[in-house]
Structure 1
Amino acid sequence: MKRSIGASGYDGRLDFTRKTADVGVTCQEHPCVNVYVPIELYQCHVQQYHDNRCVQCGKNLVTENFLRLHLEEMHNPFNSGDGIRYRCFEEQCDEAFYSHQERVSHAVKSHQYPESFDFDIVQNGQLFS
């Protein structure tokens, strides 16, 4: 579900506030409740923290592709019938794997993912600080 602020500047879910000279929004959506966001960063904030939320468990996935992988791997009861459970993180790659570790190894070797990447994001969602 994509959200945007209408011409009036208010979409019914937000509480607008002023902090010093800056205009911003106090986000009222879970898990951010009462988090101040500068208005110029609001659209990025929504995309990063609210647009790709799993309706079954509430976890936030940073992209639509990660959300699709999460739904398939974590909530599809028919997923493991052939033993291949894990798909590549890259949407254009058709590789599939029997284990999470095989997928991690593929991502690092074939797609140059850094070792520091959060390879558990599909299972855990994005952790908020």
Structure 2
Amino acid sequence: MKRSFEASHDDRPESSFKTAELGVTCREPPCMNVYLPIELYQCHIEQYHDNRCVECGKNLVTESFLRLHLEEMHNPFNSGNGVRYSCFEDQCDEKFCSHQERISHAVKCHQYPENFHFDIVQNGQPFN
């Protein structure tokens, strides 16, 4: 579920963020008192708070990466059963026996850049 500034103001505790002169202080983890201009608030929420794993708290940037993360990292039925890695692309049904095979497929078939953060499913996106 995507949030907007208006919606999030009504459904969050008052201490979750503080409106200041044309800006917001985000008090949600991992931010904890990060100040940003009000016009960047929506983008900030989408990038750092909308697709956060409830199991480990990692940020996955998109709903698709969050689904892959939950399946590969937290699904108890995958544990020890030779996890099968799915393609990063939702419309592609390819599965792989190794993370390296998935990377090769993404670069070769979907033109992912070689410097793409391929470990995002396991590690989440670093908070900047």
TM-score in terms of structure 1 length: 0.89
The answer (yes or no) to whether the contact 2:5–2:41 under 8 Å persists in 1 is: no
Distance 2:46 2:100 in 1: 29
User: Could you tell me which residue of structure 1 aligns to residue 65 of structure 2?
Assistant: 66
Deviation at 1:114, TM superposition (A): 0.3
Aligned length: 124
> Once the 2 structures are TM-superposed, how far is the Cα of residue 17 of structure 1 from its aligned partner?
1.2
Residue matched to 2:2: 2
Question: How many angstroms apart in 1 are the aligned matches of 2:96 and 2:9?
Answer: 46
Structure-2 separation of matches of 1:10 and 1:51: 15
Residues 7-64 of structure 1: CA deviation (Å, up to 9, x unaligned):
8x9433220112xxxx110001000111011111110100000000000000000100
Gaps of 5+ in 2: none
Over the matched positions of the two proteins, sequence identity in percent amounts to 74
Distance 1:85 1:101 in 2: 12
TM-score normalised by length of structure 2: 0.89
- Tell me the amino acid that sits aligned with residue 117 of structure 1: F
> Where is the helix percentage greater, Structure 1 or Structure 2?
2
Further displaced range: 91-100 or 9-18: 9-18
The whole-number CA distance in structure 2 between the counterparts of 1:10 and 1:92 is 35
More contact order relative to length (CA 8 Å, sep ≥ 6): 2
